[in-house]
Amino acid sequence: MSNQVLAAAVGRRKEAIAQVQLIRGTGQFVINQKPANSYLNNESTSLLTIKAPFETLNHTPAESDSTANSFNIDQIDTIVTVQGGGLMGQSEAIRLGVARALCILAQADESKQLEVRKSLKVKGYLTQDSREKERRKYGLKKARKASQYHKR
C-alpha cells in the first residue's frame, strides 16, 4: 500500500476538528486508527453521514458516472484524525473534511471538478455549520439562564 496522500482537508463542527487524508488503498475508512464501524459504535446515522459524499459521487447522473469511476473510490483509503466534540459533531466534521478532500482530488480535470463540486454543494456537504456554543455571561447561571424574577 502506497502512503502517497492524494488529498488532505480539514472539517470543523462545534468543538470537533477532523483532519482527513485520502490515500491509495482498498476502500477502508479509518478514524483515529480504528475502523469507522467500531469508532462510531455501529451507529447507522453517523456511518451514513461520513460516507454520504462518496455515495453522492457514486449516484450522480449517467454523464457523471465516468467522474465517479475515474476516482476509483473503492481504491481510496480515508484516514481521519478527529478530536473534540461529541459523536455527531465529529461525524459532521468528518463529512465536511471528506467533501473538501474530494474537491481537491477532482482538481486535476476542471470539467470533473465543476461536476463534483456542484453535486456536493447541492447536497450541502461543502457548507460549514458555523454555530458555536454561546459564552456564559456574568450574573447569569448559563448563557441565558437567569434566576427567576420576584417582585417581593
Domains assigned to the chain: 5-123 (3.30.230.10)
- Is the overall model pTM greater than 0.85, yes or no? no
CA distance 70 to 64: 10
d(CA 152, CA 150): 6
Residues 6+ apart with CB under 8 A from 53: 95, 98, 99, 102, 120, 123, 125
- The model's pLDDT over 59-69, given as tens digits with 9 standing for 90+, comes to 765 444 444 44
Cell of 11: 472539517
**pLDDT tens string 76-99:** 899 999 999 999 999 999 999 999
The mean pLDDT of 2-17, rounded to a whole number, is 88
